[in-house]
Structure 1
């Protein structure tokens, strides 16, 4: 899962990034309004953690920009301002939740997982397809009730495919989702090929009811057998 953290306080930003990485999220950051706008215009995110008070603009205006772009990212406002009108305005503009500083990291992690379940999985914590069950919270895969070990990247790739089954996934979209905007520094997508190769082998050996097809020169598609 890919998260954008929009926060200008360096110490808090670093603390949150460290915590989110431990939860196995792909994390990108923006320190101000302009940087946040630039990133959401280029990339898609599963969740945006949004500070309201930024040095060069309001986080609430970012919500308006998201709506204008037709984007549907899950947004959790994190702000020191506890005024009711700010909270209501944020929710009216499309925010999914509101968390007032200071807060416990565990609570933030729980809120993130809750909004992801509500929108992506209709409130469930797992994705089921054929004989396959992918548990999002526990980050586990079972096929025919047998546990299948996946590394972090394999899990994220399979999760993305399952959320987009029968859809063509380009190599670029897959790389951005799993590796974040650092993908811009990559010379090629060979690393994706190797992760896909290993994931396919595990699915085939476990006789999964799904397979990953290659679309020559473009990307991949997950289909149910």
Structure 2
């Protein structure tokens, strides 16, 4: 799961990033309005953590930009301002939740997991697809009654495909979603091929009724046999 953390306070941003990475989220950051706007224009995220007061502009303006572009990212506003007006305006602009500083990191994690489940999986903690059961909270996968052992990236790839069943996913979109900013550092998609190959092998070996099919020259799609 990929999160964009938009926060101008360096210490707080670093603490939030480290805490969420321990939960195995992929975290990208922006410390000002213009950097955040550029990232939101270019990439999609499972959740956006959005400070209102930013150098160069308001976080509420970023919400307006998301609304204008028809993007439906999960958004949690994070601000030291406990203003009812800001809260109401942010929620009316499409924010999913509002967290006032200071807050406990455990609460932040719980809110993030909650809005992602609510937006992407109808609030469910379990994805059932074919004979495969994916537990999003525990990050476990079972094929029928047998555990399927996946590494972090393989799990994230499987969840991404399960959330986009029967949809063609191009290699660039997959790379950006799973590897974030680091995807731009590679000249080819060898790092994707390797993870996909291993994941497909593991699914086949456990007699999973789902398959990640390659579409030559474009990408992949997950289908239920």
Equivalents in 1 of 2:94, 2:212: separation in Å?
35
Q: TM-score, normalised to structure 2's length?
A: 0.99
Q: Show the 5 A alignment for 1:45-194.
A: 45-194=45-194
Match of 2:15 in 1: 15
Match of 2:208 in 1: 208
Equivalents in 1 of 2:104, 2:42: separation in Å?
31
Query: Which runs of 4 or more aligned residues in structure 1 lie more than 2 Å from their structure 2 counterparts after TM superposition?
Result: none
Residue 31 of structure 2 is aligned to residue 31 of structure 1: yes
Q: TM-score, normalised to structure 1's length?
A: 0.99
Equivalents in 1 of 2:42, 2:31: separation in Å?
16
The alpha-carbon deviation at position 187 of structure 1 amounts to: 1.5
The alpha-carbon deviation at position 201 of structure 1 amounts to: 0.7
The alpha-carbon deviation at position 204 of structure 1 amounts to: 0.3
Question: SS in structure 1 opposite 2:28?
Answer: strand
Q: How many residues align?
A: 225
Equivalents in 1 of 2:183, 2:121: separation in Å?
27
**Please, which runs of 5 or more residues in structure 1 have no aligned partner?**
none
**Please, which runs of 5 or more residues in structure 2 have no aligned partner?**
none
The alpha-carbon deviation at position 146 of structure 1 amounts to: 1.1
**Could you give the per-residue CA deviations for residues 23-69 of structure 1, whole angstroms, max 9, x where no partner exists?**
11111001001110000000000100000001111101100000011
TM-align CA RMSD: 0.6
